Amino acid sequence: MTMIHEHDFGTPASNKAQQVSLEIDGKSITVPADTSIMRAASMVGIDIPKLCSTDRLKAFGSCRLCVIQVDGRNGTPSSCTTPVADGMKVVTQSEKLDRLRKGVMELYLSDHPAECATGDECEVHGVAKKIGITESRYAATSTHLDIAKDESNPYFTFDSTECIVCNRCVRACDEVQGTFALTIENRGFEARVSSSGTSFLESECVSCGACVQACPTGALTEKTLLTIGAPTSSVITTCAYCGVGCSFKAEMRGDKLVRMVPLKDGGANEGHSCVKGRFAYGYATHSDRITKPMIRNAITDAWKEVSWEEAISFAAAGLKKIQAESGRNAIGGITSSRCTNEEVFVVQKMVRAAFANNNVDTCARVCHSPTGYGLGQAFGTSAGTQDFESVEHSDVILLIGANPTSAHPVFASRMKKALRKGAQLIVVDPRVIALVRTPGVVAAHHLQLMPGTNVAVINALAHVIVTEGLAKRDFIDARCEEKSFKEWEAFISLPENSPEVLEASSRVPAGEIRKAARLFASAPNGSIYYGLGVTEHSQGSTMVMGIANLAMVTGNIGRKGVGVNPLRGQNNVQGSCDMGSFPHELPGYRHISNADTRKIFNDKWGVTLDSEPGMRIPNMFDAALAGNYRGLYVHGEDIAQSDPNTSHVHAALRAMDMVIVQDLFLNETSKFAHVFLPGTSFLEKDGTFTNAERRINRVRPVMKSATGKSEYEVTCDLSTAMGYPMSYGSGAEIMDEIAATTPTFAGVSFKKLDEVGSLQWPCNEANPEGTPTMHLETFMRGLGQFMRTPYVATDEKATRKFPLLLTTGRVLSQYNVGAQTRRTANNIWHTEDILDLHESDAELRGVTDGSWVKLSSRVGETIMRARITDEVPAGVVYTTFHFPESGANVITTDFSDWATNCPEYKVTAVEITPSAQGPGAMIETHIDGDVQLASIIRMANQIAANFPATDAPEVKMAHHIVQFWTPVMIERLHKDVDKSLLSPIALKALEVMLVAK
């Protein structure tokens, strides 16, 4: 491996179409108008000295080293700030220019250390040598060389003695990150970079690393560069945190990772990063890593380290024993959204081919499964429509149930850039998130709805657009089904969907809804971005369909600056869905009942696949408590911490006879495991991740596997031991199989990705270079389908006993269940889960800021520290779920989305009382009765309530159940359910299914 160097052209590229021809040092070049002379010179191989310029930032012209001469013009202008002109003749080297540059450079050296701790990383000495000086003639009477370092940030140091006040760090914070945490204090000789008069740690700095990357000296430097030394090799790979999927250069010195540098050519991030991807990679080599397999007979026994062969044999024997006793459907697996597409593909293949059932699911079940269902119904495919760059072309952005500055910070920086340029923002969220008001950004409207009323708000917005004549009829006539639109138009125009009627539910003033609707409908380009605040509701799927309706009725599909864009939570949650991790779908979102699709895999795998859907994760838990599901392979997910109603999950896991966990660390789920198979970090993987914009990025190994095996090898070994031999020579070989069996990936290969960097699916014969924007001229399903979206209030309501509504989310410094970030220095910012509540709710209960409180719901209770804030309205409380000690999911219930069983994390009725002590042992709720039957009744009635009553709902419900329920669940619905507990529509659906059968 060698060092990968990305060329710096000094100033950003121009996007002008007009071309300009000029001559630089006798070399002719034609470039777009508005290109700087510095960039044009760089393009013909002429490197003009510079310190304040970089192609990630707008030209500034402060260092005065890049001066040039232009024929016919007086003076020596800065090449970075001077645009090219047609016929211009430029000179970059002359005696006069040499003299000017040397004089300026001597001034810099007079107040700069003779030797810099970062060596060649400091460009000052390098530029000085380049222009021919090694020391300054000036004897400074006063310097800044005695200023103390700011070591407060855990990842980088600020050494003001090396600072040349070039403003690059300040501009990076402003232009790239959009936080405005840095400034220049004082003037003249006393001018210094300042983090607003305090330390970096105490400032508004979000530790994205943009300032460190921009700094041309050693003033802002990664601490690892000082402790490990300068890197000697680098590898391009992809971040393993959120769904943005940032590309990085992993820079190594020997076998040690020195730093992660965001890649300028990264399609998703274009050289930017956040604190997690840039710095929080230390978990990969943390001492808590388990690197050897372990087994035990009972979960009360101590773990025993064994060989890979013994662990695999033990696991396979346990699973085969269960199937011999309870049938082939008594076991299953859960794939990981933190692992590569190749690893996920192999796990679902093992379940379908070796386990001989379809009991495979993924963590998307608990986050974006409603996205798959809702967008599939409306558009015909289960993914977002745009690339991230598209947001910079938006005129109005509708942000629903997402907090990008915390959960998707690199994309948030793009969005803030668009907003600072003039785009307007509508925020739909119960909380006052940062983007409602942040430096340089003020939302035009904040529709602060009550948790659980998303569908009420989306319907009210659509009602205004239709009834006020704002619908884009030309788009609708050309691109959408006439019948579905007319039915939806009649539905959405009903008075019950008006902002005035729905204000009572949502608490959003009708006038605000009307203004926001008019703003969005009138935008030349209106885009919609949403997060888990949309999907993790009892009507998550309905809301996604409502969003799709809004995009279609306003004509905002099929070009830049528009679209429907789910912000995915984990690095490969899109990929895990693409790879066939749902129990009803094979790779490429093709239903398991389709005989032609099954034939592709039957022929390739040499098996006969089951045609019936398997169990979803909640179904697995219910079946375990019913005694029918006894074995589970959990691949890289901590379901005991991340899934709702922790008592229910724990009871289900405890009921199983063989739980196999494959992960980096012993986690909450491993407490119930009989086999622990060590996994590999992203730094050891060879494969691909697919991000939220459908971008397939390479993940390349930076270091050897700490376990001696790749994860797909382990899965293959287990499959082989189960009786279905599987073996691959490389990750590339697995991708070739994916491409051969999955039409949307037909043109994808490691070779192609290595050539072009990344691809966005569909990538096939029709789209060989991928598809940045979906549905350009037609939808994947042909014509877009409007879906009626009746608002059905959640069953999880505030009561006298539990009068507050809890909603959950993330913070910037931590990630998901915290397994990775809690093992890094990120803990310095967020050491525990905190409960946010409004001042009035706190005062009513005698709660003070920073005190311990007991948080209780109908399924459990926990203790955490309170923070009194106006970021939540009265009646709503908020917390995160990063720390197992607080166990936020002890509180969340098993209510879920009607169509997909995605848990309703965002609405839980709770009460708060002061507590004299901090968190203790988890208090579990006893799980008794026929849990599976209770779930079947609840789900059946939910499904019935969500199909419009005027649209043969019994037929729709019957079709839905056959598509997504297992045969056992359907049989129990027919035979075991007390029919008096079912709604009239559900009863009619039963009759329809009996007739069809």
Alpha-carbon gap, residue 582 to 983, rounded angstroms: 28
Query: Average of pLDDT values for 35-54?
Result: 96
Structure-token pair, residue 425 = 């923002």
pLDDT at 614: 97
For residue 473, what pLDDT is reported?
97
Predicted local distance difference test score (pLDDT) of residue 703? 94
| Mean pLDDT on 820-837 | 94
Helices (H), 560-678: 573-578, 595-605, 617-625, 639-642, 646-655
Length of the chain: 997
- On whether the CB atoms of residues 598 and 609 are closer than 8 A, the answer is yes
Report how far residue 837's alpha carbon sits from residue 464's, in angstroms, rounded to the nearest whole number: 33
Omega prior to 262 cis, within 30 of 0: no
Q: What is the pLDDT of residue 112?
A: 83
Q: Which CATH class is domain 138-285?
A: alpha beta
The answer to whether the CB of 671 falls within 8 A of the CB of 302 is no
Q: Give me the pLDDT at residue 676, please.
A: 98
| Class of residue 517 by CB neighbours under 10 A (exposed 0-12, middle 13-18, buried 19+) | buried
* Rounded Cα–Cα distance for residues 62 and 65 (Å): 9
Residue type, 461: L
In angstroms, rounded to a whole number, what is the distance separating the alpha carbons of residues 826 and 822?
Answer: 7
Is the pLDDT confidence value at 141 over 80? Answer: no
Tokens of 925: 């709720």
Mean pLDDT of 707-725: 97
Under DSSP, is residue 31 helix (H, G, I), strand (E, B) or coil? strand
Q: What percent of the chain has pLDDT over 90?
A: 88
| Residues 222, 235: Cα–Cα separation, whole Å | 18
Let me know: does 881 contact 888? Beta carbons within 8 Å. Answer: yes
**Strand locations in 643-796, DSSP E?**
658-663, 675-678, 687-690, 695-699, 758-760
pLDDT-derived band at 143, boundaries 50, 70, 90: low
pLDDT at 924 over 80: no
**Token digits of residue 636:** 């890289």
Q: What is the mean pLDDT of residues 116-130?
A: 86
| CA atoms of 994 and 984, how far apart (whole Å) | 16
Mean pLDDT for 696-701 is 97
How far, CA to CA in Å, does 249 sit from each of 1, 235, 239, 260, 750? 12, 5, 10, 6, 18
Task: Note the pLDDT tens digit of each residue in 326-340.
Answer: 999 999 999 999 999
- Point out the least confidently predicted range of 129-133, 226-230, 296-300, 581-585: 129-133
Residue 214 has pLDDT above 90, yes or no: yes
pLDDT of residue 887: 79
Per CATH, 19-120 and 294-363+572-744 having the same topology is answered no
Average pLDDT over residues 306-328: 98
- The two beta strands, 441-442 and 908-914, are unpaired
Tell me what the mean pLDDT of segment 497-509 comes to: 97
Give the β-pairing of 590-591 and 304-305.
unpaired
**pLDDT above 70 (res 389):** yes
**Any idea which fold 294-363+572-744 has?**
Rossmann fold (3.40.50)
Coil/strand/helix, residue 184: strand
pLDDT digits over 809-818, tens only? 999 999 988 8
Residue 452: pLDDT band with limits 50, 70, 90: very high
Contact criterion met (CB below 8 Å) for 835 and 877 = yes
19-120 adopts what CATH topology? Ubiquitin-like (UB roll) (3.10.20)
Q: What is the pLDDT of residue 979?
A: 94
Q: Please provide the CATH number assigned to the domain covering 804-914.
A: 2.40.40.20
CA separation (Å) from 127 to 97, 112, 133? 14, 13, 9
Hey, which bits of 706-860 come out as E strands?
758-760, 804-809, 834-837, 852-856
> Which CATH number is associated with domain 369-566?
3.40.228.10
CB 896 within 8 A of CB 908: no
C-alpha span between 974 and 963 (Å, rounded): 16
- pLDDT at residue 548 greater than cutoff 70: yes
Q: What is the pLDDT of residues 925-942, one digit of tens each?
A: 778 889 999 999 999 999
Cα 959 to Cα 965: distance, rounded to the nearest angstrom: 10
Confidence of residue 414 (pLDDT cuts 50, 70, 90): very high
CB 614 within 8 A of CB 628: no
Instruction: Tell me what the pLDDT averaged over the chain comes to.
Output: 94
Contact between 352 and 360 under an 8 Å Cβ cutoff? The reply is: yes
User: What confidence tens digit (pLDDT) does each residue in 90-109 have?
Assistant: 999 999 999 999 999 988 88
Spatial CA neighbour of 963 closest among 612, 619, 617: 612
Please report the pLDDT score of residue 140 as a whole number.
63
pLDDT band at residue 142 using 50, 70 and 90 as cut-offs: low
Query: Which has more confidence, 867 or 143?
Result: 867
Percent of the chain at pLDDT exceeding 70: 99
* Cα–Cα distance measured from residue 314 to residue 331, given in angstroms and rounded to the nearest whole number: 15
How far apart are alpha carbons 23 and 943 in whole angstroms? 70
Mind listing the pLDDT tens digit for each residue in 942-989? 999 999 888 789 999 999 999 999 999 999 999 999 999 999 999 999
Sketch the domain layout of the chain as residue ranges. Answer: 19-120, 138-285, 294-363+572-744, 369-566, 804-914, 931-996
Q: Which residue has the higher pLDDT, 186 or 27?
A: 27
Supply 282's token pair.
């230390």
The pLDDT tens digits for 744-772 are 999 999 999 999 999 999 999 999 999 99
At 902-917, the pLDDT tens digits run 999 999 999 999 998 8
DSSP string, 963-981: HHS-HHHHHHHHHTS-GGG
| pLDDT value, residue 433 | 96
Question: What would the pLDDT profile of 428-448 be if each residue is shown by its tens digit?
Answer: 999 999 999 999 999 999 999
CA-wise closest residue to 306 among 297, 350, 705: 297
